[in-house]
Amino acid sequence: MTILVTGAAGFIGHALTRALMQRGQHVVGIDNLNPYYDPALKHARLANLATIQEGRFDFVELDFADHEPLEAALAPHDPSTIVHLGAQAGVRYSIDNPRAYVQSNLVGHLNLLEVARNRQVKQFVYASSSSVYGNSDTVPFSVDHRVDHPVSLYAATKKADELMSETYAHLYRIPMTGLRFFTVYGPWGRPDMALWKFTRAILQGQPIDVYNHGDMRRDFTYIDDIIAGVLAVIDHPPTDDGAMKPGGSISPHRIYNIGNNQPEPLGRMIDVIEAACGRPAIRNMLPMQPGDVYQTYADISAIQGELGYAPTTGIGIGIPRFVDWYRSYTGS
């Protein structure tokens, strides 16, 4: 079985491709290796995939927002499943660069939906985000809650992706699963995320910016727990039985939260990084940033009940693993 993974050189895409290959599967990976963050890390992830002896990996460098090169590149392949993880990420970046999000997250998503329709794939799995919940006061966040008030363009594009996917599931009966990821972290993570920034600054003796004066909470989810959930989704596509799915669809389209179901105060996260680094942080307290949210908190009962998803890694274990990897990767 061939699986198409977009964003294969990204954080989650790399980890998923690695896990699929270790199961002996053939992965066709797509990534445009854009400079949103240092492409050297993306190349390092690809080099890491080249060390895996199991499975097979065919990598194609292209922008999936350009449909003609996308279709030409996929002509030799026959994927049975698409896992669309590629996107322009980052809440704050979307404020200054909105067109990048429309092109990648809307046009690109549509292009992959068209591939799924034309190839008649068995299922289409795609990345949404916990950002769609905005500043909801109702916690934990449930996939059955309304999410009509995004506070960033990034979140708006992810909600739009869910709506487009619902349409394709309804019209073409393509089994679809949208995954709302909650603050993913771990080895090979992204340099634009707080964990990387804080770790680098603490090790270098530089101050860290702590927004909302530290009064924020995040449902930090370790990368291995995320991948366990994605693999379970791949192995169990939704059925087209007319029953209501998580998220409210009666088409073969469901939406799951994948989180740790345990929001942590930002201050505790920094405490754990300090302990792992062996030195204190210099905390620069600042007000809340535009587009940011106070807390994220995943209700995982849907994926837990249907697929047995059960995260096992708290930040007391996961953050030291990241710090160890970071020091090895950077030589810090």
Helices (H), 178-265: 194-204, 223-235
First to last CA, the chain: 41
Q: Determine the Cα–Cα distance for residues 157 and 163; give it in Å rounded to an integer.
A: 10
- Marked catalytic residue, from 37, 93, 154, 297: 154
Q: Cis peptide before 140, with omega less than 30 degrees from 0?
A: yes
Q: Which two tokens stand for residue 300?
A: 């995982």
DSSP string of 60-91, one letter each residue: EE--TTSHHHHHHHHTT---SEEEE------T
Q: Determine the Cα–Cα distance for residues 123 and 239; give it in Å rounded to an integer.
A: 10
Whether the Cβ atoms of residue 158 and residue 131 lie closer than 8 Å to each other: yes
Strand-pair category, 81-84 with 2-6: parallel
172 is catalytic: no
Q: Which two tokens stand for residue 65?
A: 């927002």
Q: Which two tokens stand for residue 136?
A: 């909801």
Q: Determine the Cα–Cα distance for residues 272 and 43; give it in Å rounded to an integer.
A: 29
The residue assigned the tokens 């740790």 is 260
Distances (CA, A) of 220 to 104, 151, 182, 243: 25, 20, 6, 32
By annotation, the residues acting in catalysis are 154
